[in-house]
Structure 1
Amino acid sequence: MRSIENIADEIIDLKRKGVKILNFGDDTISADTSRLLAICNLQKNIGMKWSCECRVDAMTNDLAITLANSGCVGLQFGVESGSQESLDRMGKNITINQIEQAVRWCIKAGLKVVCSLMIGTPEDTLETMKQTIDFAEKLQKEYKAAVILACTVPYPGTYYSNHATDLGISISTKNYNLYSTINPIMDTHNFTRWQIRNLYFESISRLFKSLSVKYREIFTQITRNSLEKEGYRVSLSKPR
């Protein structure tokens, strides 16, 4: 693990080179709260805006305020599902109420919040996916959180890939160029990949329509950028 001093040296160097904002792409950054607080202090002293990922169960009201005061402008929660049943099966050890409380604390502190969720897990039913989509819409409308909805991908080395047979998963390709969060490549015992794909794009359309015009324009740009990164070229008309 890198020392705080080593991280500080790199951030100072990036600031000298004109970097204005920094994202910590480390999904374990909140595993050690004392280390996260040290990074907050570091960022505050250096004076650079930043963002990070965070576990829902690590968030507190005090931590949200400390993050905001340190120059943190936003963070992402790996919510994964809006179904308590699914969260329990995944071993997330969090509740829907905890997720909402964490988002409330962050929004109140002035942080921008992104919540990532997914559909098409081996255990998903139509009801659990509906609960996830409903929850995604609630996070958007009620809390003004940004939502990233993805299809489950059995990347090599992950639990779903290693236990595909036991879980009743049929992975359609070994061409890893096709492994994408917007392109389902596995059939589950409840759904084909085509059914998951159709539900995914129906859900994206629903989430888009639930946004105000202002946020639709932002959503459109984010979606276009995401699709183009996946190798697609799309034409998304401006909302009326």
Structure 2
Amino acid sequence: MRIEKKITKAILLTVPFPTRFSGMPMGLIEMGTAFENHDIETIIIDLASLSVGGIMTDEEWQIEVYRHVMTIVDYECCFVGISLCSPGVFRGIKLARYIKKLMPTCKIAVGGPHLISDIQFLKKAETYSIDWAYHGQFLPCKLFAEMLAGEIELEEIPNFSFRINKSDVQYNIEDSKCISRDFIIPNYHLLKNPEHYYFGIFKDGNNIRRFNTSQISTTYGCNSSCRFCTINENRKKFKNKIEDVELWLLKLKVDGIRNIFFDDPNFTEDTLRLEKILEILLKLDFKWACQARIDSVQPELLKRMSMAGCEYIFYGLETGDDTLKKYLKKNISNSLIIENIKSTIKYNIQPGLSCIFGIPGENRDSRFNTYKLINEIDSSLPPNSSVKPLISPSFYAVYPGSEAERDLLKTGKVLDYFNEYSTEKAWLDFDDGYGAYHYFEHEYASKVYDEIKQTLKQCINLKII
């Protein structure tokens, strides 16, 4: 089965969902690059970045979408792709319905992390406005572009479901472990305002400025098994070739992007591979940041990372309570956490520290064990330190495919991802807060955030992101 009319124009969207940081929609940029290589004009509407720090109203995002849709002459030649994360499914459905009303004959597809675990997505009544869904872990951008260009059948897209008519859905679900990932160097010109994307962590002197920042993932998947995470469940381990990573970095340099956030789940996991990447970074003179397990770094490695331009590492501190550490399956001692934070700062790298609250079984004592750890980190650092750790508050959320979801299912609770759970303003203060399912109510979240602020008032060296 092939599309009836070749697609000549594509609109790729993120969902209008409140976030705390503005990161580039890398999957959509890669997809758009593949489309342009097949002469499909592509527009990216990044509604998520427009929602940073607040809740975008329906009227606001509808105006943004409408002005782009009005530039399209032939709706039958238009494809619309929407990236869905689990807390944003409800808004993604509203977005799809709105677009279908404006362009009844366009083709609408969804993909993203939520769809990996929801194979029956198109069978649900709420999704009537959506034509196609991609359920794999790696988006086959080149195949998808060929399909839209009318070169291959819909059935040739792996891990794909599509409507044959209003009531029938065809599935082409394969073992996603057999699917390799396309390597595509993104065309950043697809983003109309690339200067908008920054993490607030790169400095010019002592001032944080809005420098162009791109995410890069050199590896996908994770060997850890943290209870709250879906990366180890949904993604096999995949590594881009070092020579491909170098090509990507060279492209960033040419495009004037000065800063990089390596989005690998644990950038320091494979030290031999990391050393090769550090050699490239030394030559190209980027400022960069990454994520890492705090037990996967040591002083000599941090020294080399700093020499290669590393300015920030985001660590998952999670909790200071020993019982909750075991529950989360992230049993890293507080003493090692403190020592490695000190080593990170010694080499002029700023640590970001994620602290998770709202963990099942959490109580006042366990919360205050985390606050105690924060105070111990603060007191272990010299008072005149120019590099100060940043605390990033997060809330324990349940996502499809995670062990956290399986725990919840055992209690008889079934989540409805087509609704938003935590929509009170208090959740905007936390990562994984707004829209997700939590074990605690928003009043508890407000109390916790007040406690965090009180704790940090007593600190000399730590502050909140």
Is the 8 Å Cα contact of residues 172 and 186 (structure 1) preserved in structure 2? no
SS in 2 for 1:11: helix
Distance 1:81 1:42 in 2: 35
The equivalent of 2:131 in structure 1 is: none
Does the alignment pair 1:39 with 2:290?
A: no
CA separation of 1:3 and 1:185: change in aligned 2, threshold 3 A: closer
The equivalent of 1:28 in structure 2 is: 266
Point out the structure with max Rg over C-alpha.
2
Is the 8 Å Cα contact of residues 342 and 380 (structure 2) preserved in structure 1? no
SS in 2 for 1:206: helix
The equivalent of 2:391 in structure 1 is: 147
CA separation of 1:9 and 1:97: change in aligned 2, threshold 3 A: same
Does the alignment pair 1:97 with 2:335?
A: yes
CA separation of 1:89 and 1:13: change in aligned 2, threshold 3 A: same
The equivalent of 1:225 in structure 2 is: none
The equivalent of 2:103 in structure 1 is: none
Distance 1:109 1:137 in 2: 21
Deviation per residue, 1:52-109 (Å, 9 max, x gap) = 1111111111011011111111111111111122212222142111111110111111
The equivalent of 1:226 in structure 2 is: none
The equivalent of 1:160 in structure 2 is: 404
- Counterpart residue type for residue 161 of structure 1: E
SS in 2 for 1:117: strand
SS in 1 for 2:264: coil
Distance 1:203 1:169 in 2: 30
SS in 2 for 1:113: strand
Within the candidate set 320, 326, 331, 1:82 is matched to 320
State, as a whole percentage, how many aligned pairs show the same letter: 20
CA separation of 1:52 and 1:174: change in aligned 2, threshold 3 A: same
The equivalent of 1:59 in structure 2 is: 297
Alignment of 1:1-240 (within 5 A): 1-140=239-378, 142-143=380-381, 144-166=388-410, 175-176=419-420, 178=422, 181-183=432-434, 186=437, 188=439, 192-210=440-458, 219=464, 222=465
- For structure 1, the 5+ residue unaligned runs are 223-240
CA separation of 1:165 and 1:215: change in aligned 2, threshold 3 A: closer
Is the 8 Å Cα contact of residues 321 and 366 (structure 2) preserved in structure 1? yes
Distance 1:141 1:197 in 2: 26
Is the 8 Å Cα contact of residues 122 and 168 (structure 1) preserved in structure 2? no
The equivalent of 2:187 in structure 1 is: none
- For structure 2, the 5+ residue unaligned runs are 1-238, 382-387, 424-430
For normalisation by structure 1, the TM-score amounts to: 0.77
Is the 8 Å Cα contact of residues 82 and 133 (structure 1) preserved in structure 2? yes
Distance 1:96 1:152 in 2: 20
What is the root-mean-square deviation in Å for CA atoms of aligned residues?
A: 2.8
- Give the paired residue count: 214
Deviation per residue, 1:23-47 (Å, 9 max, x gap) = 1011132221111222111111211
CA separation of 1:172 and 1:128: change in aligned 2, threshold 3 A: farther
